[in-house]
Amino acid sequence: MKYIVSLVLIFLIAAIAASAQTKFYENMSDAQRYDLADAYDQVADRFEELDDAPRAEKLRAMVKLIFPDFYQTERPAEVVDTVVPTPTQESLEDRVGREASEYQFSKLLRGIFDEDTALSLSVIAETLYLPLYDEGIRKPDLETEMERFFSKYNVDSYEAEDIFQLEHIEVISLENGYWRLDVKTWPQFAGALEEMTFWSEKMGFYFRKFPQGWRLAAIGPVA
């Protein structure tokens, strides 16, 4: 089954390309950036256990980019905004973000497991950010690799439910306009993809609204 999961997800890290866009974590609160850095640090620990020091070192570098003082300080306290939206406004915003994230994630899975390149790409932003790919991966490169991937492997013979615990999805509103959809793998797949920088027992899919609509902007491990 490790082979199966690799086939489904390898296209996401197939090519590296430069982009001048803002890093997705730059506008997070200090506490949120600390939590993200902590998740990357835990993945680095896993690579060290696998005697993959170069990969662990690269992840440590990402930790320092996300939160420079991570190894010298404790987690910052959450900052409470003094301007509190009305319950109606807050509820509407949360509902829209949650429903949009869930819909786009479902659409992404449907595209992958139906081997539908156009549908899969319709969910992804022009640049997709992944651990160790700090400048992001551009959509044209993803399209090329995805088409090659689908022509080589019989992905549509498998189901997303075999890999992800889809009944336990959680969507969290962040302070920078992103909504993070958290999903866990089934226990037997938690350590199946150590070579994939974003693969973890629990992963976060970062969605936000672009001028073209809601899109997936980043994927990373979640503590």
pLDDT digits (tens, 9 = 90+) for 188-209: 877 655 656 777 889 999 999 9
154 is a domain residue:
yes
Strand partners of residue 203:
183, 221
210 found inside a domain:
yes
Report yes or no on 122 lying in a domain: yes
Domain annotation covers residue 118: yes
In a domain, 208, yes or no: yes
User: Domain holding 10: CATH number?
Assistant: 3.10.450.50
Cβ neighbours of 192 (radius 10 Å): 19
- Whether residue 213 lies inside any domain: the answer is yes
Helix (H) or strand (E) holding 172: strand 170-173
In a domain, 169, yes or no: yes
pLDDT of residue 213: 94
The token pair at 169 is: 């999805």
Q: Is the entire prediction scored with pTM above 0.85?
A: no
Alpha-carbon span 188 to 195, nearest angstrom: 16
Pick from 6, 23, 34, 44: which is nearest to 206 by CA? 23
Q: How many domains does the chain have?
A: 1
- Residue 101 belongs to what domain range? 2-15+90-221
In a domain, 136, yes or no: yes
Tell me, what's the pLDDT at 104? Answer: 96
Residue 186 has phi, psi (to 5 degrees) of -70, 150
pLDDT at 118: 94
Q: Band the pLDDT of 126: cuts 50, 70, 90.
A: very high
